[in-house]
Amino acid sequence: MPEPITRQGAPVTTADLAPQRTRWRALAIIQALRPHQWVKNLLVFVPVVLDHKLFNAAVMTKAAMAFVAFCCAASSAYILNDLLDLEADRRHPRKRLRPFASGAVSPAIGLALVPALLGIAGALSWSSLPVRFLELLTLYVVLTTAYSLYLKRVAVVDVLLLAGLYTLRVLAGVSAAHVRFSTWLLAFSMFLFLSLAFLKRYTEVSTMDGDPGEQVRRRGYLRGDREWLGSMGGASGYLSVLVFALYISSEQVVALYGRPLILWLACPLLLYWIGRMWLLAHRGRIHDDPIVATVRDPMSYVAGALLALVLYMAL
């Protein structure tokens, strides 16, 4: 068998391949952290924006540190989840390509990364952020661990927990940046993120073929639950718009906006975006986390830009 030849005509050695293997392994480890999922942690900035503190350097610095802490904590949770689901992922048509399932990263490296990432998140929170933020981050870690170990297999409880984890990021942003807390934001977030949690399960059930009475692997739903998930998710999303409409009519909005009636224009934009996400899911065009799918959807950027314009005009 002819010996491999480099471009210069010299034979390839193990030493020549070592740097390339190191790069591949490093890229695989980065992929295992799921950096594309970090976009969800941008939710810590939502209360800062809504409290009109976007250009306050001190506030934004605290929010940025909260973002980094959540990214580290979330990545540790993703790695733990992948290690627990290793055998199931190897049989999944798409998840088998994940770093641990494909063998690109060894489980031993994953077991070392989990405490290391948690240590970074904890150290940053303890040294630079309020104790309340550290408490919320700890609660996030506990809930995500419980989700990975068992709760993701309990129907309805799983989507409530997913919605709670989204909302927890918003509350953590309030605590880290010392901005005003709004019960309206809490109610709006819960219903909106509950819709997205149902959407996540809807897409998972939709991608599985088989008998309607067959249970989806490592989930608490049957394949025939698809329509129920869709109806519950759509209703939750539209309830969030109702909460927003009630907020416009409240006394609290007057303290933040000089022309609050303009905020009514945000309602059709929210209705459009929620309807669009569910339509894309129904057509089988969402295959990932709904917030990640939003980042990849051009029309979501258009809706977001128009929503930002409405908020600015209402000031």
Burial annotation 162-178 (CB, 10 A radius, 16+ → b, else e)? bbbbbbbbbbbbbbbbb
Q: How far apart are CA 124 and CA 115, in angstroms?
A: 14
| pLDDT tens across the length of the chain (315 residues) | 444 444 445 555 555 556 677 788 889 899 999 998 899 999 999 999 988 898 999 999 999 999 999 999 999 999 998 998 888 778 777 778 788 888 888 899 999 999 999 999 999 999 999 999 999 999 999 999 999 888 989 999 999 999 999 999 999 999 999 998 889 999 999 999 999 999 999 998 887 766 655 666 667 888 889 999 999 999 999 999 999 999 998 888 888 899 999 999 999 999 999 999 999 999 989 877 788 888 889 999 999 999 999 999 998
Q: How far apart are CA 80 and CA 25, in angstroms?
A: 18
CATH class of 42-178: mainly alpha
For tokens 């030849």, the residue is 5
Tokens representing residue 300 in the block: 């979501």
Domain ranges of the chain: 42-178, 182-206+222-315
Q: Which residues contact 79 (CB under 8 A, 6 or more apart)?
A: 32, 33, 100, 110, 113, 114, 117
Q: How far apart are CA 299 and CA 31, in angstroms?
A: 27
Q: Is the pTM of this model over 0.95?
A: no
Alpha carbon of residue 4 to chain centroid: 45
